[in-house]
Structure 1
């Protein structure tokens, strides 16, 4: 029995050595973190994920490598993994895309956004909304995301979160700036053929009213919209009534800003990020809205 244990230990040690040799075969071993930084930077520029995996293994064992530097390398690897997964999703290779996301050494807003995209392609709206909101939280967190994302990325993520939340709960609660970027508009949803505010919408408008007052906003615009059903005359009337309903409620709860009203009827459908994924009825549900422009 003792001999067997010795053999197992020898074999285990040999396998570990072989694994380390394979992992570091193309990397010159050094005792200083600084000696790797140029090569790491080059690998990041080339989106060379495989080389970065090898470097990360070594950097984690260098005493002079700061935690912040290693975390930056991990974030870069996560960005590369998310970009590869995104391309695979466009090719409908969802399983392989998830494999790439699992290789990311750290969770970032980019990885969570791609997980959200995968859930959308599978019509898992609640799961998608959860992932998109996690991505937004990570965007807000300056420690998790030291460098602010591009404004276009922030706005697109807000749209994705809003669209999936509507299909899940019929309401949404995202407003205010994210890393200095404000949403292009804040949509307020309505049910089919109605101009009345339901309890969820009133709750959201109360939160929105508090935000407007806290920010001392003195001017805003409400633009009413409808789905594509019906003729222009009826839809123009409904869109105006929806905008007026929102205006009256905001004023009722203490908003003193100058509120301008516009009605577009069915002339300006919502610009959907994943238009081909949604059913016609889901698209109509998203289009029944009043957009608030701050």
Structure 2
């Protein structure tokens, strides 16, 4: 005997129209959301009304893995003490990131500037912003549209490592990526 309760969402052919796919939890055909072959989502109420075009929602293009991997867990770009200049290693890493961003133009990215705890809070906020801007400028030079990127500085407020050691400070001097 099966267990009562909700079933996992399923996808199958839309047998009412013969086109597209149906998404639902398997309980009731009336609760299903239909995705047409032209990538529009329809709710059951759309089929009760003749004005479907006024109620359809455009479904975003799914991520295409052949366009590069925006794994959303990119390594940060690290900086030398009291510097906002990109190292050669950082530039190489950013070339790979730029390729993925250009191939996924609907993928917005937030560039977060960070610092170690040495220096005043205001100084570190400004330095974090210079670091984020340096990354943004370089990505722009590589062809990433400025509208796809935003910057923010956290200065010393969000350290990866709270220790007061050279190793911890080096890991805190970074620009990280949030998607």
Count the aligned residue pairs: 110
Q: Which of 287, 290, 294 is the equivalent residue of 2:172? A: 287
> 2: CA distance between counterparts of 1:190 and 1:292?
15
Shift of 1:285: 0.2
Give the CA RMSD over aligned residues: 2.0
Secondary structure at the aligned position of 2:76 is classed as: strand
CA contact (8 A) 1:227 1:284 kept: yes
Q: Which of 257, 261, 271 is the equivalent residue of 2:151? A: 261
Q: Unmatched 5+ residue regions in structure 2?
A: 1-68
CA contact (8 A) 2:115 2:124 kept: yes
> 1: CA distance between counterparts of 2:177 and 2:144?
13
Of the two, which has the highest radius of gyration? Answer: 1
Which gives a bigger RCO, structure 1 or 2 (Cα 8 Å, sep 6+)?
2
Structure-1-length-normalised TM-score: 0.35
Counterpart check, 1:187 vs 2:72: no
Q: Describe the superposition over 1:58-108 as per-residue Cα deviations: whole angstroms up to 9, x where unpaired.
A: xxxxxxxxxxxxxxxxxxxxxxxxxxxxxxxxxxxxxxxxxxxxxxxxxxx
> 1: CA distance between counterparts of 2:96 and 2:134?
16
More strand by share: 2
Q: Unmatched 5+ residue regions in structure 1?
A: 1-174
Counterpart in 1 of 2:123?
A: 234
> 2: CA distance between counterparts of 1:292 and 1:205?
11
> 1: CA distance between counterparts of 2:133 and 2:126?
11
Shift of 1:197: 0.6
More helix by share: 1
Shift of 1:284: 0.2
